Amino acid sequence: MRHISVIIPTLNEAGNIAHTLALVRQRGECQLIVVDGGSADATIEIARREADLVLSSPSGRARQMNAGVQVATGEIVLFLHADTVLPQEFSFLVTQALADPQVVGGRFDVRLDAAGWPFRLVETLMNLRSRLTCISTGDQAIFARRDIFLTLGGYPEIALMEDLELSRKLKQVGRIACLRARVTTSARRWQRDGVLRTIVLMWTLRLGHFLGIPPERLKTFYADTR
């Protein structure tokens, strides 16, 4: 049995999934699970070439990731976006972090795959905020002990902010490992919508979530979610 199960939710990611899966295979030993939410492109066919399991699920990132955990055999589950690349030796880094029995989960620092100082500034602020709060976003490749994840009820199946809610629940039961090794994630939203506009949007959504605005309503402002 492989020690880590990497779970990737997908929806129309034919342009990214082959590269992501190939690099996961190169960079660490794991069980590789893709959970598709109804792609209309070739995502499923491409994923079957590299993944150990390819599942179909009703659309919804939280729902898809929870479905992946149900079939995972690893003691550790790691959640990876289809446009995000894990660092070298990620499996060693995760296993090392969880060798401390008080650590229940963790995440990586993030790097955006675009050149220019605005993106470096965004990365720095994202990583600092996450390190100070131990709250992680999905593009930081959140990982957790599978038994703890299941005990906490998994990801809440809400339209938005499921990653923040899982982070909050993990913090309540143990320590969070904030790894300095970096995942590299797509800057496509930042490039398309603009750095400043995206920052304002992200903080507005978080504020709205903190104030109790329903995730379904917040989702209407965040077009790429599913």
Show the domains of the chain with their CATH numbers.
Answer: 4-188 (3.90.550.10)
What is the average per-residue pLDDT within 40-67?
Answer: 95
Per residue in 39-50, pLDDT tens? 999 999 999 999
pTM, to two decimals: 0.89
- In DSSP notation, the chain reads --SEEEEEEESS-TTTHHHHHHHHHHH---EEEEEES--SSSHHHHHTTT-SEEEE--S-HHHHHHHHHHH--SSEEEE--TTEEPPTTHHHHHHHHTTSTTEEEEEEEEEESS-SHHHHHHHHHHHHHHHHH----GGG--EEEHHHHHHTTSS---SS-HHHHHHHHHHHHSEEEEEEEEEEE--HHHHHH-HHHHHHHHHHHHHHHHTT--HHHHHTT-TT--
Least confident of 49-63, 89-103, 159-173, 189-203: 189-203
Q: Is the pLDDT of residue 2 over 90?
A: no
What is the average per-residue pLDDT within 30-47?
Answer: 96
Q: Is the pLDDT of residue 1 over 50?
A: no
